[in-house]
A = this chain, B = another copy of it.
Amino acid sequence: MASLPECTALLLRREESRLYVTINRPEVKNALNKDVTEGLEAVAEYVENDPTVRSVIVRGSEGTFCAGGDIKGFKKSFETPPPEEGADDPIATGNRSFGDFLIRFNNLPATTIGVIEGAAFGGGLGLTCVFDVTICMADTKFALSETGLGVVPAQIAPFVVQRLGLTTARRIALTGARFDGKHAFEIGLVHFLVNDAEELEETLKKVLKGITRCAPRANAATKKILMATTHRPIEQVLDDGSKAFAAQLRGEEGREGVEAFLEKRKAAWVEKIE
């Protein structure tokens, strides 16, 4: 097990197969800046290289998930001169890198869980769209706030469409919609709706228990297949899937899983979670 990355804007904690990540800029409601996104990139790197990480739990410090982008940072950008003809635009390049990060996080081999409390605006709402499982407090406030600021939700738009469908994405993006956790649950932005901290922790524990019932490599292979359906022809997804199936069935996990089932016992990979 490699040591955890050092991140100035994140708190990290490892417990067995679980990695807990807390965005830690409470003074600005955990708004995304370079420190946060670089930290999350380091987390992605760590998880991609350590197959013993089976779940990644992400939340914000002090009861707020993420208030969005760094609006004071936007103001500084006004002074960035436009690029010369043919040169790269540093504003576009900086913006584009958040899209690459979201693609990467969307495809992490571990199962990812977002715990959404307080607020998820702009980029925070975008981040909410790339977790495998999302647990949300009913009173969380959501908004795709970009167009109200005169800018566009450029890098998060495809992930919002992937999560909510085009119909809902159009409505919330073009009408400056502000909504709460209950509505987020109704439109499918989040999976579990909870009303207080106790219910939140119980739901999280239940989800984590569910994840440990799944064989680790089988889960990673399944996620890869599911994500491939978004951009590859079905025949190719099925071809690759059939090879993954054979590899899993012949491998250690398939043997253990089938034997455990027939012997009516828990498989070796099931963890106890207190």
Contacts and interface: CB of A to CB of B under 8 A. Distances in A.
Given A215-B150, A222-B153, A250-B78, A245 B95 contact: yes
A60 to B, nearest CB: 21
Contacts of A267: 148, 150
B213 A150 contact: no
Interface residues of A, number: 92
Interface string A65-93: 00000011011011010100000010111
Interface of A is mostly: helix
A242 B150 contact: no
Interface string A220-249: 011101110111011001110111111011
B242 A95 contact: yes
A117 interface: no
B99 A147 contact: no
A177 interface: yes
A5 interface: no
A255 B150 CA distance: 7
B210 A254 contact: no
Interface of A: 71-72, 74-75, 77-78, 80, 82, 89, 91-93, 95-96, 99-100, 103, 111, 132-133, 146-155, 157-158, 161-163, 165-171, 173-177, 188, 191, 207, 210-211, 213-215, 218-219, 221-223, 225-227, 229-231, 233-234, 237-239, 241-246, 248-259, 261-262, 267
